[in-house]
Amino acid sequence: MVAYRNLGRSGLKITEITYGNWLTHGSQVENDTATACVRAALDAGITSFDTADVYANTVAESVLGEALKGERRQSLEIFTKVFWPTGPNGANDSGLSRKHIMESIDGSLQRLQTDYVDLYQAHRYDHATPLEETIQAFADVVRQGKALYVGVSEWTADQIRAGQELATQLGFRLVSSQPQYSMLWRVIEEEVVPTSAELGLSQIVWSPVAQGVLTGKYKPGQPAPEGSRGTDEKGGAQMIGRFLEQEETLRRVQDLRPVADELGLSMAQLAVAWVLQNENVAAAIIGASRPEQVAENVKASGVTIPVELMTRIDEVLGDSVVTDPRETEKNSPRR
């Protein structure tokens, strides 16, 4: 079964393998398959589920809510996010204004068929709204009982520090950060992780398998496999394009196979286990387009990678790893 970890300095425990439905539910897979994947996650011991209102323009939340219907609510940890445009993309249909946050939480709760979410996250930093307004709105959402905890996603270390200071003044605390993090994408290690550890936040990381690149199925000099994310025109191909354009990176990933073999893991399991070696990581988010993918990925839970193999991974990947902390700021759109 999947192990639990505390989220930040809070008392909330979440499964270190968390199921997420970005780019799948309401988009890449049919609803019955999505439901089967959620059931497979529950059967494997996953109780934490991550989504966002923007995924498939709110449809992903609805699919998840329907798939979880009938489950004991107290036994689940449900996360969602707010920032990106939803609806017809009107002037107030995005961002972290008080108006958008207060309206968005109600929409998310309705779609998820629940009275509250365990974690409500700012999906990006909003440069167009005063931070004081944003944090006050989150404080009110917590006081209304619509969210139990608050987190952020793709915020810089300075933004996290400023947000935590305001949250503390208003009687609550930010408990989590949700960044991209993998063997190939380590931009949070220099600034975000130490700041989060200092301020009591954990990382809930997305794309631990680098959108599938770290599975090894994308071979240098060969076209992306049919039906893979690399051929998905609904958004997957765009997200993974950065890695697929780098032949040397794809070659180095193939050289990780002996490490995975030595640990008795698949390449995907190795990638997930690797991010969980970071003490500031509370959970790795996995997605799936087939139930059997869930069953395979949860085998990364509880794995300890010896120090010598962690070192060998660094040596194999070399300068293919992206480490520049300024990459996080690039993910913060200026509307």
Point out the residues that are catalytic.
55
Cβ within 8 Å of residue 151, ≥6 positions away: 79, 119, 120, 121, 122, 174, 175, 176, 177, 178, 201, 204
Report the alpha-carbon distance of residue 249 to residue 214 in Å, rounded.
10
DSSP-derived secondary structure for 246-278: -HHHHHHHHTTHHHHHHHT--HHHHHHHHHTTS
Query: Quick check: helix, strand or coil at residue 243?
Result: helix
Report the alpha-carbon distance of residue 198 to residue 280 in Å, rounded.
10
Element (H, E) at 105: helix 98-112
Q: What CA–CA distances, in Å, run from 168 to 53, 132, 163?
A: 26, 12, 9
Report the alpha-carbon distance of residue 191 to residue 205 in Å, rounded.
15
Dihedral sign for Cα atoms in the order 78, 160, 140, 25:
negative
